[in-house]
Amino acid sequence: MKFDTPAGRNPIDQLKVVGRPHDRIDGKLKTTGTAPYAYEQHDVVANQAYGYIVGAAIAKGRINAIDLAEAKAAPGVIAIVTADNAGKLIKGDFNTAMLLGGPEIQHYHQTVALVVAETFEQARAAAHLVRVDYARGKGRFDLAAELKVAPLTGGDSGEGSKAPPVDRVGDFEGAFASAPVTLDARYTTPDHSHAMMEPHASLAVWEGDKLTLWTSNQMIAWGKGDVAKTLGIPKDKVRLISPYIGGGFGGKLFVRTDAIMAALGAKAAGRPVKVTLQRPLMINNTTHRPATMQRIRIGATKAGKITAIAHESGSGDLPGGGPETAVSQTKLMYAGANRLTSMRLAVLDLPEGNAMRAPGEAPGLMALEIAMDEMAEKLGMDPVAFRIANDTQVDPEKPARRFSQRQLIKCLEMGADKFGWSARSATPGTRREGQWLIGLGVAAGFRNNLLMKSAARVGVDRKGIVTVTTDMTDIGTGSYTIIAQTAAEMMGVTLDQVVVKLGDSDSPASAGSGGQWGANNSTAGVYAACVKLRDLIAQKLGYNAADVAFADGKVGSGNRSIALGEAVGDAGLTVEDAIEYGDLGKKYQQSTFAGHFVEVAVNAYTGETRIRRMLAVCAAGRILNPKSARSQVIGAMTMGAGAALMEELAVDKRFGFFVNHDLASYEVPVHADIPHQEVIFLDEVDPISSPMKAKGVGELGLCGVGAAIANAIYNATGVRVRDYPITLDKHLDKLPVMT
């Protein structure tokens, strides 16, 4: 199905099943521990062996020699794989570094060996007997130092966040110099880890020359292609299966070393091998969100209209990598005739930087939305009013291109009303409750809507059971449920009459999970297949497809009606189709918006920050399942709290690795850190987006949250911290004196 004209009224608009807060149909499996994740596929194949990965102990250099004698002689050892015996490997399209190092080492904890043994414990013990002689090389580990000589570099996150090396509209320098009120400030965000609950894990099985991988991967079609390319085998000889994923956040968009090493280990051992990355290796061995150093300049009239805005950012990555596109949202967020964005990319020898939930916008808004608050204070304006005054309904760089929907003002106004913004003290550091300093903060949220081709197979059997098959994945976001809702709505059956099969590369290729594009595109693909199936059924019955109705398990037209199962016959009917998009995405700017509000309390004596309550008001098209969507948003808000207050990968600039590479020292928020979270979805549909009229909320719930917290801390204390995370050591000595 080609979607190239705005959606009119269609069966989804009935909202009998779609748009309702259904429980997740996979919830029972998740809560009882019976959903089989990649490492838990114990019964799919017999005689499984265990692999344990050895990571490089240097960040840059070469391997002189590897002594495997002790390891090979250890109890239970079946095989050991290194670059010496792995055969030729080709770097995949989505990897920056090789997934097996040697003799060259590109980053710390890069895989250098896999030990395969009868038990996990035996593999682990033998792995510690692998002796590697390294020649350490000189590496580049200091972002600030390397950015001084880094070139201007454009980039594209692949998730709708992109920018050229330099982008100019009008005369920024002239407008900024002549503006009566200006701001010129610098901000930093550190390296972040995905820290997902489920580690990267895979089980590999060879049947002749065909490889089957049960793996934890968000993008099955991408993964299948990269596994084939890396191993140098045809794509039709690779099958990826990933029915359940215990969190990804972008860290599982691409094939990682566990999958490739499991495949190599199984080939060497001549039997199935399962591999999981031990937690300490996940942070340095896989990907992370790169640190940024950002400069924002804003010029405005005394009345508060922005006349000049510039956002410059620098980040680093391995050779061949790309920048963190932190300036992207600034190209679209606020009005202003004179504009400048630029990005620099430093070459670093730290582990690979790549997509982490909302690449680009997440760290970019952490800076931009503080700058907007700082500018509002200079102007003597309320921060909400300043943002509203500079809203735009068109792309500021291309005024002829309108937003398909843009309700940022409503998000901010409704949020301010619901949150009690009018009670906020405009003078920082003045509201106190005992030893606690209380503050309110706001930030705007923004995330682009990305359209991707997505296919599905839909069938109906003689009992009227609808089965949907697609390689779409569920990373804990509720894909099973919204896909079932879509099929139920389209085919006129109840949710319990739908079977959903996900995460198998032998199924039609979907959009996959990531960048908040998954829900809208995957359900649109199911919609397309259902339309085709409905037409086929109508044709089979001799009904007019234009006025046929699918409801209550029946197919009707005029005064004629027949049960759905009877309509398809004993053999049933199955069709396959995909949603493919025209140029509506070029004609209209498609984005999602939010207003984030936060209340914090900062202890005047210890400097510790406590989040008291959070509110997100989201405009994101049709909400397919308010219950699971709310879960996505509050999870994203929690991730934003972590980025604002505690998350930071500490770089050892001598030896080039992240020191705190475990969950004991890389701190993330827990339930007790945020007592109250509220989410409001605006009643919005976007017919420009898809037949579902939906968009996405997964990243939107994160974008802007960190700055809202930072702004609340400033309102509480009067101390402005521009370097994340905002730990107590950065403001303790500047806090107001308690009397």
Query: Both 513 and 631 in a single domain?
Result: no
Query: Both 488 and 559 in a single domain?
Result: yes
pLDDT digits (tens, 9 = 90+) for 336-373: 999 999 999 999 999 999 999 999 999 999 999 999 99
Asked whether the beta carbons of 113 and 53 are under 8 A apart, the reply is yes
Is residue 76 in a domain?
no
Burial classification of residue 586, based on how many CB atoms lie within 10 Å of its CB (0-12 exposed, 13-18 middle, 19 or more buried): exposed
The pTM (predicted TM-score) of the whole model is: 0.98
Asked whether the beta carbons of 666 and 195 are under 8 A apart, the reply is yes
Mark which of 545, 565, 586 sits at the end of a domain: 586
pLDDT digits (tens, 9 = 90+) for 19-48: 999 999 999 999 999 999 999 999 999 999
Query: Both 414 and 514 in a single domain?
Result: no
Is residue 304 in a domain?
no
The tokens for 169 are 């509209």
Is residue 333 in a domain?
no
pLDDT-derived band at 397, boundaries 50, 70, 90: very high
pLDDT-derived band at 715, boundaries 50, 70, 90: very high
How is residue 688 annotated by DSSP?
Answer: T
pLDDT-derived band at 546, boundaries 50, 70, 90: confident
Of 299, 329, 296, which Cα lies nearest the Cα of 313?
A: 296
- Residues 6+ away with beta carbon under 8 Å from 380: none
103 upstream amide cis, omega within 30 of 0? yes
Mark which of 549, 570, 586 sits at the end of a domain: 586
Of 374, 295, 299, 379, which Cα lies nearest the Cα of 341?
A: 295
* Dist. CA 398–CA 326, nearest whole Å: 20
DSSP 118-131: SSHHHHHHHHTT-E
Mean pLDDT of the chain: 97
Query: Both 573 and 648 in a single domain?
Result: no
Strand extents, DSSP E, 287-391:
292-300, 306-317, 338-347
Is residue 486 in a domain?
yes
pLDDT, mean of residues 130-140: 98
Using a pLDDT cut of 70, give the percent of the chain over it.
100
List the catalytic residue out of 198, 352, 647, 699: 699
pLDDT digits (tens, 9 = 90+) for 188-220: 999 999 999 999 999 999 999 999 999 999 999
Strand partners, 343: 313
Task: Give the pLDDT confidence score for residue 593 in this predicted structure.
Answer: 98
Asked whether the beta carbons of 172 and 251 are under 8 A apart, the reply is no
Domain ranges, residue 506: 2-35+451-586
What are the C-alpha distances in Å from 155 to residues 161, 225, 324, 328, 533? 8, 23, 8, 10, 41
pLDDT at residue 160 greater than cutoff 90: no
428 upstream amide cis, omega within 30 of 0? no
pLDDT digits (tens, 9 = 90+) for 366-395: 999 999 999 999 999 999 999 999 999 999
Asked whether the beta carbons of 122 and 76 are under 8 A apart, the reply is yes
Query: Both 538 and 662 in a single domain?
Result: no
Task: Give the pLDDT confidence score for residue 671 in this predicted structure.
Answer: 86
Strand partners, 657: 652
- Residues 6+ away with beta carbon under 8 Å from 662: 279, 280, 283
Of 55, 139, 99, which Cα lies nearest the Cα of 316?
A: 139
* Dist. CA 555–CA 541, nearest whole Å: 9
Q: Is 413 a catalytic residue?
A: no
Of 360, 362, 321, which Cα lies nearest the Cα of 341?
A: 360
Determine the residue type at 730: K
Query: Both 500 and 479 in a single domain?
Result: yes
How is residue 227 annotated by DSSP?
Answer: H
Task: Tell me which residue has tokens 């210890």.
Answer: 606
* Dist. CA 362–CA 365, nearest whole Å: 6
Task: Give the pLDDT confidence score for residue 738 in this predicted structure.
Answer: 82
* Dist. CA 201–CA 197, nearest whole Å: 12
Find the CATH number of the domain harbouring 445: 3.30.365.10
pLDDT-derived band at 486, boundaries 50, 70, 90: very high
Is residue 147 in a domain?
no
* Dist. CA 143–CA 363, nearest whole Å: 16
Query: Both 376 and 465 in a single domain?
Result: no
Half-sphere exposure of residue 205, counting CA atoms within 13 Å on the CB side?
Answer: 16
Is residue 719 in a domain?
yes
pLDDT at residue 739 greater than cutoff 80: no
Is residue 713 in a domain?
yes
Query: Both 573 and 626 in a single domain?
Result: no
* Dist. CA 598–CA 419, nearest whole Å: 9
How many domains does the structure of the chain reveal? 2
Using a pLDDT cut of 90, give the percent of the chain over it.
98
Q: What is the 3-state secondary structure (H, E, C) of 470-509?
A: CCCCCCCCCHHHHHHHHHHHHHCCCHHHEEEECCECCCCC
Is residue 665 in a domain?
yes
The tokens for 660 are 């705190």
Query: Both 468 and 597 in a single domain?
Result: no
Of 580, 579, 478, 463, which Cα lies nearest the Cα of 529?
A: 579
Query: Both 444 and 475 in a single domain?
Result: no
Query: Both 455 and 445 in a single domain?
Result: no
* Dist. CA 306–CA 328, nearest whole Å: 18
Strand partners, 467: 459, 499
What are the C-alpha distances in Å from 601 to residues 13, 31, 383, 547, 667? 44, 34, 19, 59, 20
Query: Both 580 and 462 in a single domain?
Result: yes
Which 3 state secondary structure label does DSSP give 738?
A: coil
> Hey, CA dihedral for 262, 265, 270, 274, is it positive or negative?
negative
Mark which of 568, 586, 604 sits at the end of a domain: 586
pLDDT at residue 105 greater than cutoff 80: yes
How is residue 38 annotated by DSSP?
Answer: G
pLDDT-derived band at 545, boundaries 50, 70, 90: confident
DSSP 607-621: --EEEEEEEEEEE-B
* Dist. CA 643–CA 190, nearest whole Å: 9
